[in-house]
Amino acid sequence: MTGLTIRMRLILLTAAGLLVLVATNFYLTRALGDNSTGMVKAAGLLAGIEQADSAQIAFGEMRYWMTDLAVSQLTLSERNAQAAKARMEQHLDKLAAWNPQRIAAVRSELAQYDQFADKAVDEYTNDRRVIGNSLLAQARQHSLAVDQLLASIVADLTDEAVAARQKAMAEAAAATRLSRIVVAVAVLVGILLTFLLLRTIVVPLRRLIAAMDGLNTGNVDVAIPKAGADEIGAVALTLGRFRDTLKEQNRRERELRAAHDELKATQASLIHAEKMASLGQLTAGIAHEIKNPLNFVNNFASLSVELLDELKQTARPAINALGADKRAEVDEVIDMLTGNLEKIAEHGRRADGIVKSMLAHSHGGSGERQQVDLNALIEEALNLAYHGARAQDRDFNITFERELDRTLAPIELVPQDVTRVLLNLFGNAFYAADKRRREAAGAAFQPVMRVATRDLGKEVEIRVRDNGTGIPPELRDKLFQPFFTTKPTGEGTGLGLSISYDIVTQQHGGTITVDSRVGEFTEFTIRLPRSRQAATAATQA
């Protein structure tokens, strides 16, 4: 049924109903016709009975008037007898069609009666009563015969009429019963067909509605009902196309959103780069302005120490001449001054180192680009970093995991700067892992740092992952800002990642990203383009 259109289904259902109606009507018409024929036959027989009854009545009247005539001799009685006989003849004429032989027998007896009765009346008229009585007695015999014949005819007609009526009634009852059964079956079949038809419409419609609801809620993977050959199939087909369009729109929207996100990331990166550049310039300016006075501070501090040594030696005699207390007090002051000056010199050098780093940051890399075996560079930096850390802390220890791509072809880069970047990353990893070890307070924690390289074709990827304390999400945006550090004062300048960011992005046109989970790991990923053009273009951008 679903292969048909709804219109065709409705037409077929209606046609089926009409067919049943027409067939039932035809059957009833035929049955009614048969019944009508039976009833007509019964009515004809009843009419025959009526004719026979009327013939009997007419014959009775005829006899009465003949008898009256015999007594009264009135011609009126004679005429009435003749009229009654004529009526009887008419009734017999009508009855003759039913059974000519039996009516002929009645006529024969009637003629006999009439003949004898006429003669009897004539004899009475001529006052020969005895002969009249004799003739009338003979007439009476034929009269009885007529009566019996008519009575038997009436009885037979009645039997036939009753049979015909019963037959017609039985046929009518059978037709009515069959008609009721047909109507009942037609109603049931009609209900069933209507139910099935509605089901073929409603079920797909519900599926369509469910699909539409799903699409309305944005579920483009919702199942679209199979497209049949009917109107609902056409709607399903259209809905399927609509879903495909929606899918395509969603895909484009996702692409657009991705592009937008990428654009936003690029924009943020640019803003960050600009910020870094501004900070770099500012730092360079500040460093340049600070360096001269700092040189004076450092130089004069060193000079002051020397002068204090000279003063100490020069004034030694005088000092020795002083009392013990005074001499001790002077020596203590001189030592304190010397100590202060040394502190000034020490911190001045430290400040000078910071300024130099700032200047280096602002001036960028100064080394030449050259083809380098990146894996070897990493091994070298790892070695330097490890021993540096061991030099500062003899208890420091960490497990290295190397996943270096041995097929990695040499890449063009500035080795000093990249080494600096690697040292920064390794140092931070050592610090975080060791910090966590310390925080673990003797628990079974083993600091691990994993370094991996991978050749991506046009790019080379370096991953540095530690199992240290991790970086909270709110701090990640600040990681690459200059002077941002989580280390205690004096242990970090906050310039390492900032410088690394500039070296990777500005100098080499690469990218550096970080992924971390607090208390689990931190992983930095560096991607460096192989081509010089890409690196240069990125640097210029």
Cβ-based nearer residue to another protein, 126 or 278: 126
Q: Which residue has the tokens 């996943």?
A: 403
At its nearest, how many Å lie between another protein and the CB of residue 122? 9
Cβ-based nearer residue to another protein, 78 or 417: 78
At its nearest, how many Å lie between another protein and the CB of residue 126? 9
Cβ-based nearer residue to another protein, 75 or 101: 75
Cβ-based nearer residue to another protein, 127 or 221: 127
Site string (84-123) toward another protein, x via CB under 8 A? -------------------------------------x--
Cβ-based nearer residue to another protein, 75 or 217: 75
Q: Which of residues 32-51 bind another protein (CB under 8 A)?
A: none
CB 284 within 8 A of CB 363: yes
Q: In the beta sheet, which residues pair with residue 370?
A: 413
At its nearest, how many Å lie between another protein and the CB of residue 81? 11
Q: Classify 459 as helix, strand or coil.
A: strand
CB 395 within 8 A of CB 360: no
Site string (53-82) toward another protein, x via CB under 8 A? ----------------x--xxxxx-x----
At its nearest, how many Å lie between another protein and the CB of residue 64? 15
By the rule CB under 8 A, 125 interacts with another protein: yes
At its nearest, how many Å lie between another protein and the CB of residue 82? 13
In 86-108, which positions are buried (b, 16+ CB within 10 angstroms) versus exposed (e)? ebbeebbebbbebeeebbebbbe
Q: In the beta sheet, which residues pair with residue 453?
A: 462
Q: Classify 407 as helix, strand or coil.
A: coil
At its nearest, how many Å lie between another protein and the CB of residue 76? 6
At its nearest, how many Å lie between another protein and the CB of residue 83? 13
Cβ-based nearer residue to another protein, 124 or 524: 124
Count the site residues for another protein by CB under 8 A. Answer: 9
Q: How far apart are CA 111 and CA 378, in angstroms?
A: 155
CB 430 within 8 A of CB 398: yes
Q: What is the DSSP string of 227-259?
A: --SSHHHHHHHHHHHHHHHHHHHHHHHHHHHHH
Q: Quote the Cα angle for 12-13-14, to 5°.
A: 90
Sheet holding 521-529, edge to edge: 399-403, 448-455, 459-466, 521-529, 511-517
Q: Which residue has the tokens 């607090």?
A: 518
Cβ-based nearer residue to another protein, 121 or 381: 121
Chain residues binding another protein by CB under 8 A are 69, 72-76, 78, 121, 125
